[in-house]
Structure 1
Amino acid sequence: MKKLLVVFMLLGAVVQAIAAGDPKPYNERMQWFKDAKLGIFIHWGLYSVGDVSESWSMYHKRISWEDYMKGQAKEFTASEYDPKAWAKLFKEVGADYVVMTSKHHDGFALWDTKYSSVNAKQFAAVGQDVYTPYVEAVRAEGMKVGVYYSLCDWSHPDYTPITFDRPEKELRKLYPQQRHEKYLTQWQRFTKFNFAQLKELFDRYQPDLMWFDGDWEHKADEWPSRVVKDSLLSWNPDVIVNSRLNWYGDYNTPEQDPPVIAPDRPWELCITMNESWGYRKDDHNYKSSKYLIETFVRSVAKGGNMLLDIGPKADGSIPEEQLKILEDVGEWYGKHESAIKNTVQGIPYGHFDGETTVSGDGKTINLFLMGGLKDFTTLRGVKGKVKSIKLVGSGKSLRYQVVDSAPWNDIPGIIQIFFDNAEEDSFVTVVSVELEEPFELYRGIGHSVEMND
């Protein structure tokens, strides 16, 4: 009877969450995200000691649970952690939102959760909640707060599947449970725990964005993903969710490789600065600032955002190589913000040999030149009278001419733009083509000119 009562209570919560539905229209919830363009991703946890990779080193048995969890916890001091300085830096770079790991697959929580002793306050040398100061600092700088949360927890005694040996009896003590939970199945206990931690995060932080991970380990009806999504919306009707909640996410989340073809809904590219998400002492294979800025441009030109990852050290300091990249991205973005912010996906390929964005009013087309400046470039098949053509950043006017036009046959011609003595940007040079009226595109296949003016 007790077991049935508990199951009915769980079912009641499920029905209540589903009944809550989606209280705000999708487009209304997603608007700030589509406008944002740049976010900062932070992977920080026990793995930030820097000797092994986050969680996966334990999964692949390259390190024992004891050495990974207990050994690294002794060195997770956060002695140099300054969340206000972090947030100020991210704001200066141009980020509109920040996502930080609240708990990775290893189960270590950065906030002082009451549902597990495996948290920063009780389990690690830092001895205190380090997540709340992050949220407060990000909000104080006017940026949206994103919470990364792993659906799987490889330290929880009731979680399956597990690929490595764990001290099962000790884990029972680290994840305290109530008496009535003995009437639940193993998976029901874990699901109850997951919902409890998620509710705790929402009660404390009311995140603007929930960034899930680990959904591949179970099917949607096992997590259960629909109930998770509906519950989040009942707790915060404005929250948006990434795609890693099976098919219940609000936007696509490609990783590392920018799509060649734009997805058909909002999306962000999450990308590392080197080959690691968290800090690794031995990973010095950093991507160049130019490559990352070009990737940012390619993402925005296809209507997406870029979520640029950093991996602070266990003491809370950000590695110098990462600071330099952030500085370069911020400097370039600051000079070329008008070509990124308040823009939409660029014009189709073929009209320009490169990436483009378009202003919200349709009167300006921004051209991104990544291979350096040559004698000239061309913009093809664009109808409308040119008002001005300038280098973004310096404001220098550029000489241009319209050639091979036949307006009486509806052929707009080719805008040829010259770079006489123009100074190129060390990363990506941007040209703005401003028109008198919102532009139209000529998308014809071409035809013979039977009459000339």
Structure 2
Amino acid sequence: MHNKPLIYKPQSYAAMLLVIIIAACSSPEKKKTTKKEPSPEEINTESSKKNLEEWKKDKLSLFVYFGVYSLYEGKTENQPIDGAAENIRALAGITPENYARKAREFDPKKWDANEIVNLARDIGMKRIVLDAKHHDGFCLFKTQTTDFNSVDFTPANKDFVKEMSDACESGNIKLSLSYSLTDWHLPAAMPMSENHNTPVTEEHHNVNLKRIEELLTNYGSVSELYLYSGLNTPEQSRDLRQLIKKLQPECLISDGIGNDMGDFVASEYNSLPAKTPDVAWNMLASAFSDTRGYKDTKSEVDPLPIAKKKVKEMIRVLSSGGNYSLSIGVKADGTTEGVEEEVLKNLGRWIKVNREAVYETMESPFKTAASNYKITRKENKLYLFMESVPASSSIRISGLNNKITAARFLGSGIPLEVVNRGNVNEILWTAPAMADPMEVPVIEAEFEETIRPIPERGISINAADTLTLDNTNAFHHTGITQQDQITAIPSSTALTWHVSAGHPQQAEFRFLQTLKGKEIAVDTANGEQQIVLNGKQSHLVCSKYDTIQTGDIYRSEIFYGDLKEVHVNPNGSNRLRILNTSWHNLKNTKDSHLIPLPMSTRYYYVEIESENEQQYCYRVTGNDGMQVWFNQEEILLNRNNVPGTPLIKELVFDLKKGKNILLIKNYNRVGSKDYFDLKPLSDAHWWRQTISIPAEPEYLKLKPVAQQNPFQEAGFENLTIVLTPENQTK
């Protein structure tokens, strides 16, 4: 449901800035109120957890794009637009009057919601997601907020959400809806921006609340609500979530609600996450990379190669533990004939043959994927999606500590010979008898016992060992945290170390004062214990006798774009070059603290001279996001959970003797003040606290107890655990 981010050219950025300034000025001034943060139970509710488990089993859904934009067929003045057909109003600069005039022609006489439902069922989709309102503001449902809807404004005089709701109920398929938080038709949300990730005014927010109330009140059960676009404040996101969960507690919400208040992550269209999340996630895909809405130019394309590509894309998502959604753009007359429908039907035929490998499956038990096949699992079975013929005559599967008992091709049922050699299982390859038009035959391999995930390489401790656990040797559980799509970045939500120790351990936690009072859960195979980090003050972080010298701070020119974009080479060593701009010494700059612009990034370069190898602590302050590299290695990427306020991090650097290079990216999303600051903390101390870890822990997992939701950063950057056998500490 997300749209591909713009590449920010000067002119488009200027327009974007104008939009934000006007939006801010047009909003009535309100007294600032402090609202209580939602509790973890309000966000990660038990009903949400239960529904997420069912949602993960369903795996597949069909998105339906349909609206006034369908009348244009991706063209203006008979010329195709460059971009998404559903965004034609902004991309082609169509005036409100002309777009409204076009809407008067919207009369899809051949529309039949039952046909869409039958198509989805034939393909194997478990849910239908209808785009109830896109950025253009046209509502496919009767609403009291505007007459710009399919019932009151068009000759169709139909409530398409109602028709889809009825058809889904008759067809025993789950109804979901998507809704854009941007509105190019609503005066309170003007002016229009092709970027459509602009702040939501208070009046616009109230309209969104009213419409979502209508959608969740008038159309029966809604299994998911995909919110997208727009820049909500934390308070606005909270308002939306509380309304949705009040009206339909079991309705799942996408992360497009903003500020980490969704139930699951929805990817950018046709884009896999850079890091596979450990939270519930869904890849949104379309047959054509540039559009979801119907484009007339698509009719000349061969659907088979696209279907093959989408099958492999879907397999990659399923093997990584995600769900998969594919979209179809409905024509202006209401029909779905064309390339997209053929792509879907090809996909459906493949799914029908291999359904056991798709539904109710889990991600591959292996952290590293094989080169020629992907894997899903279910109970005591592995499913191997063979993307190419094995280089040897057998497929070797090792590390499961589980014996293979049988293997067969799905579809034909033809068995394959299996061999067990200790911890190595082999499937002897035979070409499948039944040709697969998608060129991905699937092997079902059955084992004696339930298949468990293979942990990261473990660490063994003998009776004389002392072991240090930190961020560098931990497995990082990954979420995706965001205020909006532009600020979306991976987050480390928990840390796990796989530890083998046959005797009890003393675990000494070492941390900075900033973590004092933080409640954490320490989980092992023997159970969980919760502790509050208080401890006792220990030694200084830095050496009393070795000196350091923090050099001048150099600042880059300004860049625009997403938080995750990197505009400089962190491995570069020449501070005088940054693309085609230069660094400025803040000591010689009068405007060392400029008023930052929206979606702007500046980089700061510092050289630190150290007399010897040692640790040193710095306090780094930034705006809505920070990324830090030290000696060319990334050590921090964080988003501010309270946008517009200072983001403060105390970081301990391992200084080498001689020159060290610190590079800091400071990102501003919407704030009006530059908070950047870098301060050495010569008086920073370590704090220490010890707990006991029982023998045979198998693993040690660390996570915050009072985490607001499963997406936010855990904040364990400077936490170290030293394991020592208890007999050595007595």
By the TM > 0.5 criterion, same fold? yes
Find out whether 1:368 has 2:381 as its counterpart: no
* Structure 1 partner of 2:724: none
Pick from 304, 314, 317: which aligns with 2:322?
A: 304
In 2 relative to 1, CA 135–346 (structure 1 residues): closer, same or farther, beyond 3 Å? same
Query: How far 1:67 moved relative to its partner?
Result: 2.5
Native 8 Å contact 1:372 1:424 kept in 2: no
Given the alignment of the two structures, is residue 233 of structure 1 paired with residue 245 of structure 2, yes or no? yes
Match of 2:223 among 182, 195, 208: 208
Distance in 2 separating the partners of 1:212 and 1:252 = 11
Aligned partners of 1:258 and 1:295 also within 8 Å: no
SS at match of 2:100: helix
Could you say which residue in structure 2 is the equivalent of 1:57?
88
Tell me how large the CA RMSD over aligned residues is.
Answer: 3.0
Does the C-alpha gap of structure 1 residues 350 and 54 become closer, same or farther in structure 2, counting only changes over 3 Å? closer
1:430 maps to which residue? Answer: 442
2: distance between equivalents of 1:249 and 1:158? 25
1:252-401, aligned counterparts within 5 Å?
252-254=265-267, 255-259=269-273, 261-274=275-288, 275-284=290-299, 288-350=306-368, 352-353=370-371, 354-359=373-378, 361=379, 363-372=380-389, 375-401=393-419
The aligned counterpart of 1:68 is: 99
User: Matches of 2:331 and 2:390 in 1, distance apart?
Assistant: 39
Match of 2:643 in 1: none
Q: Pick which of 270-279 and 373-382 moved more.
A: 373-382
Question: Higher helix fraction: Structure 1 or Structure 2?
Answer: 1
Q: Counterparts of 1:31-50 in structure 2 under 5 Å?
A: 31-49=53-71, 50=73
Q: Which runs of 5 or more residues in structure 2 are unaligned?
A: 1-27, 76-83, 195-199, 459-730
The ranges of structure 1 where at least 4 consecutive aligned residues each deviate by more than 3 angstroms after the TM superposition are 17-26, 51-55, 283-287, 349-353, 372-376, 420-424, 439-445
**Is this contact kept in 1: 2:62–2:328, CA < 8 A?**
yes
Distance 1:301 1:373 in 2: 19
- Give secondary structure in 2 for the equivalent of 1:244: helix
Report how many residues are paired.
403
Aligned match of 1:26 in 48, 54, 59?
A: 48
Question: Cα 1:21–1:380, aligned 2, differ >3 Å: closer, same or farther?
Answer: closer
Q: Which amino acid aligns with 2:154?
A: A
For the 8 Å contact 1:399–1:420, the answer to whether it is kept is no
* Residues 416, 26 of structure 1: alpha-carbon distance in 2 compared, 3 angstrom cutoff: same
Aligned to 1:251: 264
Contact kept in structure 2, 1:351 and 1:379, CA below 8 Å: no
- Give the Cα–Cα distance (whole angstroms) in 2 for the partners of residues 383 and 19 of structure 1: 37
Residues 377 and 451, structure 2, Cα contact 8 Å, conserved in 1: no
- Residue 86 of structure 1 corresponds to which residue in structure 2? 116
CA contact (8 A) 2:367 2:456 kept: no
**Residues of 1 paired with 2:39 and 2:29: CA distance?**
17
Q: Secondary structure at the match of 2:428?
A: strand
Shift of 1:213: 1.1
- Identity, % of aligned positions: 21
- Which residue number in structure 1 is paired with residue 429 of structure 2? 418
Q: CA deviation at 1:260?
A: 5.7
CA distance in 2, matches of 1:337, 1:137: 24
**1:122–1:442 CA distance, 2 compared to 1 (3 A):** closer
Structure 2 residue corresponding to 1:220, chosen from 208, 233, 237? 233
Q: Distance in 1 between matches of 2:162 and 2:116?
A: 14
Q: By how many angstroms is 1:128 displaced? A: 2.0
What's 1:173 paired with?
A: none
Structure with more contact order per residue of length (Cα contacts < 8 Å, sep ≥ 6): 1
- Measure, in 2, the Cα distance between the counterparts of 1:306 and 1:390: 26
247-256 or 277-286, which deviates more: 277-286
Shift of 1:163: 4.0
Quick one: distance in 1 between partners of 2:455 and 2:433? 29
